[in-house]
Copies of this chain bind each other. A is one copy, B any other.
Amino acid sequence: MLSKKTQYAFRALTHLAENYGEGPVLISDISERRKIPLKFLENILNEMKKAGILESKKGKGGGYILKMAPNKIKLSTVIRLVNGPIALLPCVSLNFYRKCDDCDETNCGLRRVMAITRDATLKILEKKTLADIVFEEQAGPKTLR
């Protein structure tokens, strides 16, 4: 499961995506409108800035902006940044690889299945971007299952 922090990150990014091209948005603004604890949000946004997907400006008229267009920011990027590995096992993670203790990697059946799972997940998360999330929200209420 994604951490609460990651959910906050997405909510904030969605907000920024909606305001893309209209200048900086205040942390306090995002915090209020999206119901995210202010100080926590500060940290989150700052992290994403350091990671290169946000830009910031201090002082009056300042705030945060997406560093690139919403359709350039992949969900996989955000998740890896804020949440960590996408794979279900360290040994099949592309970006956070770590060997499994006491398990023979070249011979591990679980590992192979989890590699397949990772690929299926990634196929979606590498394709979907913030723009897709915004679009879905504007498409109006939908019930899903």
Contact = CB atoms under 8 A, between A and B. Distances in A.
Contacts of A2: 88-89
Interface residues of A, number: 49
Given A89-B7, A121-B121, A144 B113 contact: no
Contacts of A125: 117
How many of these chains are in the complex? 2
Interface in A122-145: 123-125, 128, 132-137, 140-145
Given A35-B102, A100-B7, A113 B84 contact: no
Interface of A: 1-2, 7, 10-11, 14, 34-35, 75, 84-85, 87-90, 92, 100-103, 106-113, 115-117, 120-121, 123-125, 128, 132-137, 140-145
